[in-house]
Amino acid sequence: MKNRLKVLRAERNWSQADLAERLEVSRQSVNAIETGKFDPSLPLAFKLARLFESTIEEIFSDEN
């Protein structure tokens, strides 16, 4: 699944480690989600959306 995490992170000048700390997950998790290797669960996707004050659809898209 494609996502805009890298852009949203860059807009806030956050590193992967910063985002991981805010989400209470590992940096490896953020990297895997960001690179599209791992699709987050719905609760984690909602957490991301809340953190970026956005909607899930604005962060993730199901295009290949």
Give the interface with other proteins as residue ranges (CB under 8 A): 17, 20-21, 24-29, 31-33, 37-38, 40-41, 44
In whole angstroms, the minimum distance from the beta carbon of 45 to other proteins comes to 11
In whole angstroms, the minimum distance from the beta carbon of 23 to other proteins comes to 9
Which residue's entry shows tokens 């956005």? 54
In whole angstroms, the minimum distance from the beta carbon of 35 to other proteins comes to 8
Task: Please measure the distance between the N-terminal and C-terminal CA atoms of the chain and give it in whole angstroms.
Answer: 6
What gap in Å lies between CA 15 and CA 50, rounded to an integer? Answer: 18
Residue 1 or residue 31: which is nearer to other proteins going by CB?
A: 31
